[in-house]
Chains A and B, each alone.
Chain A
Amino acid sequence: MDDKVQDLPVHHEHHQMLPVWFFIGVLLLVYGVIILWVGVSDYNQPTQVILANEHANVWGGIILILLGGFYTIRFWPRRRLR
């Protein structure tokens, strides 16, 4: 079988599939909102875990929103039809 090394992405005509990155982006974005909301709600009385004063929920929520938001916007369906 002759297999050609492709330099450019191969376009399969029958597959207009949303990329996995979009699904990941949506889920992380939603997770980020939930976790940030919890972090902000509990800011003055954080749950008693080690290093609670570091407010890991707030930082974690922000990072997830940024990461999820980036993937969601970057791979949003209407952008892929251009």
Chain B
Amino acid sequence: MSLPLSMLALSTTTVGQLISLKPPDILIIVLYFLMVLGIGVYLKKFANTSNDFFMAGRDMSAWVAGLSFLSANLGALELMGWSAATYQYGILATHFYWIAAFPAMVFLGLVMMPFYYISNTHSVPGYLQLRYGESTRALSGISFAFMTVLMSGINMYAMALVMKVVLGWNIHFSIWVSSLTVAVYVTLGGLYSAIFNEVLQFFLIWLGAISIPVLGMIEAGGWNGLVAKIHERVQGDYVHLWSGMGSFSGNPMGVHWTGMVFGLGGVIAFGYWTTDFLVVQRAMAAKDLRSAQLAPIIASYFKMLVPLIVILPGLLALGVLPFKLVPESAVTPGLHSYNEVLPIMLARYCGPGLLGLGVTALIAGFMSGMAGNVSAFATVWTYDIYRPYIRRRESDQHYLRVGRWSTILGVIVSIGTAYLVTHFKSIMDYMQALVSFFIAPLFGTVILGMLWKRGTSKGGFWGLLAGTVSSVAMYTAVVVHPEWLRYIALSPDAKPMAENLYRALWSWMICVGVTIVVSLFTEPKPASELQGLVLAHTTFPDNRGIPLYKRPIFWGIGVGIFFGLLQYIFW
């Protein structure tokens, strides 16, 4: 999902470090590293085939697949970044956890996972190859492999920078220790290791961060006390989700509700949650179709609860901190940036022991992000680039070896990226934009492929290309002529954050439009080649006889009711 990469501009001019660790904290961190390495060593004996290494044997229960599905997204960069965004924009940041999560996750589980799972593909580019052909797979696979390994490097750099600012650790030490640890446990255990450590990370993040909202609400005097304190300190509405979104100028983010619902909650969220292979791979690793469908739905419940440990700390910082935080550009010695909200709140409430647990949670979040990216890269590289274009028809053991070596390659490239970013920080902005170019059009291509049997190979390729190129064009236009944002977002009052949302919407529409038009003028694949790939030619398992409470749709409706309740409470 869109990462608040402004967080990565953490100032290095901050004097001193935010947190001092005591021996019990160091011990907790060391034990975490020993555990993840131990898990990798243990799991090596189970990763004996390419299916084991890349797809965890398609053996995961719904709960394991679901928690790792969520954790693959829930990195420390996101935790810290969205706490910072909450300090700036208030409770509006919660939209990125609610409207921008549950509809897409439930849609993935109920509508799209059957096609991913029944087709027995190994990746999203793999599905595109089956549905549309090699050219679409190549476009998607190469771009994904490139972006995901660069994101791994950015994660690595972000972690090193955070550890430097928060703990005073040397950047090189952080980069090398974390990357070598990730390299070892993913090379040994493949996706098994990545998933196990993501589920571990889920527990550590919750247990490491929960002390902030609990103690913070005690200090603030409950929700009403917190709201009163916020109103004493800041102007504007920081505690309502929707009531200020009737106009661009009515809320701190400068976004209209249509952009939030259709841009963020629609195209961006659906594009990310349903086609980003890093998260989809976790659901594909489930042991059967119903578990694969339940995985993102289980994850959606916990995603709805994440604001407790991300948004609430940001609001608490607004209400209880005796000093104001400032934008990154305004940081001078003695001042702290918005991006330091989470570690500041950790240091405020947590003594030795709990502090170590909180820091370990951040480290775990960063490392799981790297591991997830590297394992996804290895899968797409091996199955979607190496096997079809470099060495076909090798043995399974050959591809297993390639998978292990490409994991190491991925880590090496990530380290290189991390060092590149230390010198050229603008790369982070470009990476954010690069990811956004593909997400929305890819969703258009995949969903049309799954639901519309008339979609052709040429239609899929040209639609994806057109959507991506249009997104690049709109982005470039606004960079060169910032005043053109009013045309992209259809309002002179739109602020920069609106650009991303509306650009995604238009590029998706262009992708879908071009796909439909080109398909109508080109020859579709015969029905025999579309079995299990598109709605009209797929037989779904019969759920009659399965108790209602075991059906994915039951739990999907449940999270919808949960979502509705939360919108009403925080309207």
CB-based contact A3/B354 at 8 Å: no
B200 touches A23 (CB 8 A): yes
B177 in the interface (beta carbon within 8 A) = no
Q: Given A24-B203, A27-B200, A30-B31, are A4 and B353 neighbors across the interface (CB < 8 Å)? A: no
B349/A3 in contact, CB under 8 A:
no
**CA separation between A24 and B43, bound complex, in Å?**
15
CB distance from A12 to the nearest CB of B (A): 6
Q: Once the chains are docked, how many angstroms separate the CA of A23 from the CA of B42?
A: 11
Report the minimal beta-carbon distance from A24 to chain B, rounded to whole angstroms: 5
Indicate if A52 sits at the interface (CB-CB under 8 A): yes
B59 contacts A by Cβ under 8 Å: yes
Assembly CA distance A39 to B356 (angstroms): 13
Q: Give the number of residues in A that approach B within 8 Å (Cβ atoms).
A: 41
Whether A38 pairs with B35 at a CB distance below 8 angstroms is: no
Looking at the assembled complex, report how far the CB atom of A30 sits from the nearest CB atom of chain B, in whole angstroms.
6
Chain B neighbourhood of A1, CB < 8 A: 118-120, 532
Nearest neighbor of B196 in chain A, beta-carbon distance: A20
A1-53 contacts to B (CB < 8 Å): 1-7, 9-10, 12, 15, 17-20, 23-24, 26-28, 30-31, 34-35, 37-39, 42, 46-47, 49-52
Measured CB to CB, the nearest residue on chain A to B351 is A47
B203 touches A3 (CB 8 A): no
Answer yes or no: B406 CB below 8 A from chain A CBs: no
Structural contact, A18 and B31, CB atoms closer than 8 A: no
Do the beta carbons of B35 and A3 come within 8 Å of each other? no
Q: A31-B28, A31-B31, A34-B24 are in contact. Are A3 and B541 (CB under 8 A)?
A: yes
Those of A54-82 within 8 Å (CB) of chain B? 54, 56-57, 60-61, 64, 67
Q: Collect the chain A residues with CB atoms within 8 Å of residue B35's CB.
A: 23, 26-27
B548 to chain A, nearest CB (A): 13
Q: Smallest distance from the beta carbon of B474 to chain A beta carbons, Å?
A: 40
Contacts of B15-45 to chain A: CB distance below 8 A: 24, 27-28, 31-32, 35, 39, 42-43
Query: Which of under 10, 10 to 19, 20 to 34, or 35 or more describes the interface residues of B?
Result: 35 or more
Total number of residue pairs linking A and B with CB closer than 8 Å:
121
| Residues of chain B lying within 8 A (CB to CB) of residue A3 | 117-118, 288-289, 541
- The reply to whether B203 and A28 form a contact with Cβ atoms under 8 Å apart is yes
Which residues in B have their C-beta under 8 angstroms from that of A12?
A: 57, 59, 287
A6 and B214 alpha carbons, distance in the complex (Å): 40
For residue B425, which residues in chain A have a CB less than 8 angstroms away from its CB? none
Q: Cβ of A52: which chain B residues have Cβ within 8 Å of it?
A: 351
Query: Would B119 and A15 count as touching, CB distance under 8 A?
Result: no
Known: A17-B46, A30-B31, A50-B215. A10 touches B351 (CB 8 A): no
Instruction: State which of B42, B57, B288 has its C-beta within 8 Å of the C-beta of A5.
Output: B288
Residue among B195, B200, B288, B354 having the largest count of chain A Cβ atoms under 10 Å: B354
Interface residues of B (CB under 8 A from A): 24, 27-28, 31-32, 35, 39, 42-43, 46, 57, 59, 61, 64, 117-120, 192, 195-196, 199-200, 203, 207, 211, 214-215, 218-219, 287-291, 347-354, 357, 532, 539, 541-543, 546, 550
Q: List 19 A-B contacts (CB under 8 A).
A: A3-B288, A7-B546, A12-B57, A15-B59, A20-B196, A24-B199, A24-B200, A35-B24, A35-B28, A38-B24, A39-B353, A50-B348, A50-B349, A52-B351, A54-B218, A56-B211, A56-B349, A60-B211, A60-B354
